[in-house]
Amino acid sequence: MNIRNEIKAYIAASGWTLSDIVKEMNKARAPEDQTTPQNISNKLTRGTIKYSECKEIAEIIGYSIEWAQKEK
């Protein structure tokens, strides 16, 4: 599964919309750092979304991103 589909699936499963997530993201950002649903959608499509933005989205929808070592 690519990053776009994976993140969109988590968003959908959590009952949030991208617009609602962006509203929450912008609450904690300075006006010059605010984003739009279109901007986040474009980043997801291109695969250029920042890890920090992924963590922010996960936090908003009630998830955490964890690193787990693969079994050898």
Query: Per-block average pLDDT, block size 10, for the chain (72 residues)?
Result: 90 96 96 96 95 96 95 88
Flag whether 52 is in a domain: yes
Residue 63 has a pLDDT of 97
Flag whether 72 is in a domain: no
Mean per-residue pLDDT of the chain:
95
Lookup result for tokens 């959590």: 14
Residue 72 has a pLDDT of 85
Quote the CA–CA distance of 41 and 37 in Å, as a whole number. Answer: 6
Predicted model pTM: 0.89
Flag whether 38 is in a domain: yes
Kindly tell me the burial class for residue 4, based on how many C-beta atoms sit within 10 Å of its own C-beta (0-12, 13-18, 19 or more).
middle
Flag whether 65 is in a domain: no
Q: SS3 sequence, the chain?
A: CCHHHHHHHHHHHHCCCHHHHHHHHHHCCCHHHCCCHHHHHHHHHHCCCCHHHHHHHHHHCCCCCCCCCCCC
Flag whether 66 is in a domain: no
Residue 1 has a pLDDT of 63
Flag whether 67 is in a domain: no
Q: Count of domains in the chain?
A: 1
Full domain range(s) for residue 55: 3-60
